[in-house]
Structure 1
Amino acid sequence: MNALCCFGVCFVLLVEVSAGFGDLWRPENVNIDSLNTRYVLRWDWPHETNQAVTFTAQYLGEFHSRKASYEKYWTPVCVNVSEHRCDFTGAELHYQGLYLLRVRANTSQQSSSWVQIRFCPDKHAVLGPPSSVKLNSVKGNLEVIISDPVSSNNQSMKTLLDNNLSYLIHYWRRSEDPQTAKVLQTKYNVVALPELDRQTWYCVRVQSRYEYYNKSSVFSDTHCARTEGPMPYWQIFLYFLISMLVCFLLVLLLYFCFYKMFTFLKNTFWPAVQLPDHIQELWLSDSEKPQLLAPGSPESVCEPLVMVRPELDAVSVDEHLNAEDQDSSAHSRHGSGDSGVYSTEEDSCHRSSTHTDLQMTSKKHREELHDGTLLELCA
Structure 2
Amino acid sequence: MILDDADWLPPPENVSIVSINLNHILHWQPIPKSWGNVTYSVQSQGEFERFYKNNTWNDVSDCLSISKHQCNVTSEVAGNVLYAFRVRSEQEDQRTSVWAEMVPLFNRETSILIPPKITLQAHGSNSLRLDILDFGEYFQFYVYIWQKEKEDQVKSMKLNRMVTSTSFDQLEGGSEYCVNVIAYAVPINKNSSRSDSVCAKVPALGHKALIIGLVLAFVFALVPLALVARKVIRALLYSCCPQVDIPDVLKEPYIGQKMVNSFYAGEEKCDSMSNVELHDLITSQEKFPDKSQTFR
**Scaled by the length of structure 2, what TM-score is found?**
0.46
Structure with greater contact order relative to length (CA < 8 Å, sep ≥ 6): 2
More helix by share: 1
Which one has a bigger Cα radius of gyration? 1
Instruction: State the TM-score, normalized to the length of structure 1.
Output: 0.37
